[in-house]
Amino acid sequence: MKKTIIIALLVLVAIASSAAVPDSIRRNLEDFYTIVQVAEKDYAAFKFKVTDANCKEYEAFKKSLVKDIKKQRRTWQDAVCAYVGWFGDFHFFVFGNKEVSANYSKYARKRIEYWKLMDEYHLQPMSCKVDDVTWLIRFPSCDGTQEWAEQSAREYLNSGCPNLIIDIRGNGGGSDDSYQPFMQLLFDTPDCSRDGCMIRFTEASIRRCRLTEERLKELGLPTDFAHAPEYVVLVEEGATFHYDSISTFPKKAAIIVDNSVASSGEQLVLDARLASKRTKIYGRDNTLGCVDTGNCPHYIPADRGLTIQYPMSYSTRWEKGTGVDPTGITPDIRITLPYPKHLTDNIDEWVLWVAEDLKR
């Protein structure tokens, strides 16, 4: 509570100091400071991003953005994009119209733009036989795809193929529930333990997520904001990863990744590494590195043409020094082929290469 009051006072002082500037610039400063408050009060990984080692750099950068807004050297939207981009967290970002999105991309952490390297990069869900011993499931999204995943898992089991390739290139995430049918196929290591998850428990975040008191109780979270600690356990460290049985098939499995695999897509890779000894990760590039934070509400300044998404939870990998962000997950086996020309609903050269490698 004391920290919240101090931040609020600092904001009021900063806004008051801008009283001599025109109303339009003062409004821009107010909105910028509000977004700074969202980062400093609600963003789960703030304490890991701004440390004793770089706090002076952070404060100086923030002051330079304020100065630029006052001097009209940059728009407040540009200042917001630069500020959010400084954190290098793909779960903490700015979006809006094409102009806003393009502006933010200048400051965001860089990623491989496959749509520029290939003639066609538009992955489609697929479930089909590659050869007599290999089945392919292409799974480019975890967003509302659990039913399709269940269907494709059944198709694979009915195929009788001993080898399975799950191609998740382009999978930017969604919900962890979506890939559970695949984990039931791959799981072969009982009672392995997962990393914990902490939530930055602020009233603003809970309100933006529309979490009711009943839902908070279901999640085991406090309902009394006034007396709750700033960080609350969402998932216990060492929680057991377990299914009731181990599937006979596949005998060998591969997951193909690229630099667009993020969030729940990366969590699928982490879970497979943890709970499946028969699965190897293939790829030419690391995954994106966007999985150590999550559970993202939105902040929308009134009539300002942009939206801020920020994560309210973080993995205990941050505290253990074993985080995935920002470098991403390194494949077990590097694919040495060039990028395919077309990656849609086709069986491309990479799939054929991995199928042959599984046979060996």
Structure-token match 């997520």, residue found: 209
Query: Contact at 8 Å (CB) between 69 and 29?
Result: yes
Residue type, 107: Y
pLDDT of residue 8: 52
pLDDT of residue 241: 80
| CA–CA separation, 290 and 173 (whole Å) | 9
pLDDT of residue 225: 86
pLDDT of residue 118: 97
Q: What share of the chain is helix, strand, coil (3-state, %, to 5)?
A: 40, 15, 45
pLDDT of residue 18: 47
Tens-of-pLDDT digits for all 360 residues of the chain?
Answer: 445 555 555 555 455 554 566 888 999 999 999 999 999 999 999 999 999 999 999 999 999 999 999 999 999 999 999 999 999 999 999 999 999 999 999 999 999 999 999 999 999 999 999 999 999 999 999 999 999 999 999 999 999 999 999 999 999 999 999 999 999 999 999 888 899 999 999 999 999 999 999 999 999 999 988 889 999 999 999 888 888 899 999 999 999 999 999 999 999 999 999 999 999 999 999 999 999 999 999 999 877 889 999 999 999 999 999 999 999 999 999 999 999 999 999 999 999 999 999 998
- List of residues 6+ apart from 3 with CB closer than 8 A: none
Residue type, 219: L
| CA–CA separation, 3 and 6 (whole Å) | 5
